[in-house]
Chains A and B, each alone.
Chain A
Amino acid sequence: MRKILFREALREAMTEEMERDESVFLMGEEVAQYNGAYKVSQGMLDQFGPKRVVDTPIAELGFAGIGIGAAMVGLRPIIEMMTFNFAILALDQVVNTAAKMRSMSGGQLSCPVVIRGAGGAGGALGQQHSQSLEAQYVHIPGIKVMMPATPYDAKGMLKTAIRDPDPVIFIESEILFGLEGEVPEEEYLIPMGKGDIKREGTDCTILTWSRMVHTSLDAAKKLEEEGISVEVVDLRTLRPLDKDIIRQSVKKTNRVVVVEEGWHWASVGSTISDFVSRDLFDWLDAPVERVHQADTPLPYAFNMEEFTLPNAERIMDAVKKACYTKA
């Protein structure tokens, strides 16, 4: 099968959906003439013209709100946030407008907008540009949250997000943009709310998403050499959560490690741990272990950055702890 980059997979998803549906357009900072801050939208201005590939001023609240308003009356905007650190400025529009309009209007309104862009640690970008902020969206009823880990998933999930009738937050790990992976030429969609087993195993389940899927796979590979068989479940969609895939895996392995790139208090990982501990209590042979970022802003100094983020070694330790094996 042919291989393309993560960013190219995202571009193909947007391009195909824009070819398919006139109401889809892309709006954001530097998406048009500059070809995208991360070159995700490279060439799209040439193909679709300035009506449908739109550069905005640096005004996240404003253009997110314009996208949400346009979606409210039937268009299907893709709003690119250069990074989700800046999307915080638009949080009011997401939380108070997009997520609420269907309920407030008694079901009259819908908001088929996709708000997508880079998230997570970026590599020595410092405190304000290295944050995993998915928890603040996953918390909110009325929106859906997707975070792909591979080029294949990125394409199929983004196409689904664009066709979805509800507001979708789509966060792409900044470090994965250059990742290469197999993506078929023919069209496919990955359903909303469906996780994927990225590696099968029998001794312990790792529940994770986005970039940490790769770190977890790395850990799983090393653990195999030590005789521990780890199943890596990529949750892919964080809201709605694929509870079935978690149940199936945990009933098989009876041990769980939740791995997330970001902070652990009031996080997606804490909610998943809560779910596993209550829903699957009788199936657990050990407490749920967690691996996450240190509870600090992420510093610039390379050694400090490396220290604060989860890595394969810490994941291996957590798995061993869950398996009652000496670390």
Chain B
Amino acid sequence: MDTMTEQLESPPAHEVRAGYSEITPEQGERIRARLSDEKILDMYENMVRIRRFEERAGRAYQQGKIKGFCHLYIGQEAVAVGAMSALEEKDYVVAAYREHGHAIARGLESNSVMAELFGRATGCSGGMGGSMHIFDTEKHFYGGWGIVGGHIPTAGGIGWAIKYREEGAVCLCFFGDGSVPQGAFHETLNMAALWKLPVIFITENNLYGMGTALERASSVTDLYKKALSYDIPHHTIDGQNIFTVWETIDACAKEARETGTPSFLDIRTYRYRGHSMSDPATYRTKEEVQDAQQRDPIQRLHNWIVEQEIATDEQLQDIDKAMKQEAKDAEKFAEDSDFPPVSDIYDKVYVDWSWDIEGPEVK
């Protein structure tokens, strides 16, 4: 871990704010030596895919096509895309309820995720889970969980299974800063360190747990200190710089796959929208949001790609158009899809249940 720590050179945590680090010439050189232009453009495209998808989902929600809770990922795209870009097929992902972006970044089709939001049978969870419960076992995408912090032990269990079966893989566990005070977080970090479970615990620190600012919820706001008490390697990084995210996850994942060492990341990011669709976010100022948007992760990568002559501004705008169309098509796909058969409520509770499940008869 020492080499990794040196290489990454995180600034002191209190200096890291959303957008603290620029893509420096040195980082740019490192990235260009390791990532092909194609891969870089792919990462860009995925961030745009997520943003356009979320904008479309937000509109569909306002039109009443999506119901329940819906948590948009706009502003945080570089975290999911940077992280997933460092993964291999055999690795696992567990996320919370703001997870549309993680699912798409992991390779789930926009159609399948949108259909899930619409509660349709063609959705990745057959429409039964909705926005907060996205699963795709083929992609090793394990949720989609709605209890704050409750999925952190679940990820620990995947880490346990990886180690037990000697798979040489890693599990990424995403959660918000609101999860960090939960007991589930602390119990799992302790056991992950004790047993060397290959899990990367990723706090997407967007500064608010719902409407409560981090400093009002956590006695310690430099979250890496939580990891210190479990002797887990940690990094505090800028989540609006996709390459910083990628480099950090890449290094931590390699370490985890090879030695089982878990790690803890405090990734500073920002959500532009409210906590959920029903949240007008009056607990923060317009200026604060605008300030964060000045350091938009997509715009930042856009500028860098053009400056590096990897693609022209026009080419990137074409990507944007294509992604807008993809989101639009996904909405149409979802709307045109059927709802799941009602009998599924009885069929998908147990693997083996040879008795009558009580409830209204399906006609």
Contact = CB atoms under 8 A, between A and B. Distances in A.
Interface of A: 25, 51, 56-57, 59, 61-75, 92-93, 96-97, 101-110, 112, 141-142, 144, 164-166, 192-193, 240, 243
A106 B351 contact: no
Nearest to A193: B355
Given A73-B158, A106-B125, A61 B184 contact: yes
Given A61-B187, A62-B187, A96-B147, 15 more contacts: A57-B187, A62-B190, A65-B188, A68-B157, A69-B153, A69-B156, A69-B158, A70-B161, A71-B157, A92-B147, A96-B146, A104-B125, A105-B125, A142-B350, A193-B355
B184 A103 contact: no
A76 B123 CA distance: 29
Nearest to B184: A61
B351 A64 contact: no
Interface in B141-168: 142-147, 150-161, 164-165
Interface string B190-218: 11001000000000000000000000000
Nearest to B127: A106
Given A92-B147, A105-B143, A109-B135, A64 B153 contact: yes
A103 B345 CA distance: 7
A112 B157 CA distance: 13
B143 A75 contact: no
A107 B146 CA distance: 18
Contact of B153 (A62, A74, A106): A62
Interface of B: 92, 123-129, 133, 135-137, 142-147, 150-161, 164-165, 183-184, 187-188, 190-191, 194, 340, 344-345, 347-355, 357
24 contacts: A25-B164, A51-B164, A57-B194, A61-B153, A62-B153, A65-B150, A66-B156, A68-B157, A73-B158, A97-B145, A97-B150, A97-B154, A103-B345, A105-B128, A105-B133, A105-B137, A106-B125, A107-B128, A107-B348, A141-B349, A165-B351, A166-B353, A240-B353, A240-B355
Nearest to B137: A108
Q: Which of A92, A107, A144, A243: most chain B CB closer than 10 A? A: A107
Nearest to B347: A107
B201 to A, nearest CB: 13
Contact of B348 (A56, A65, A103): A103
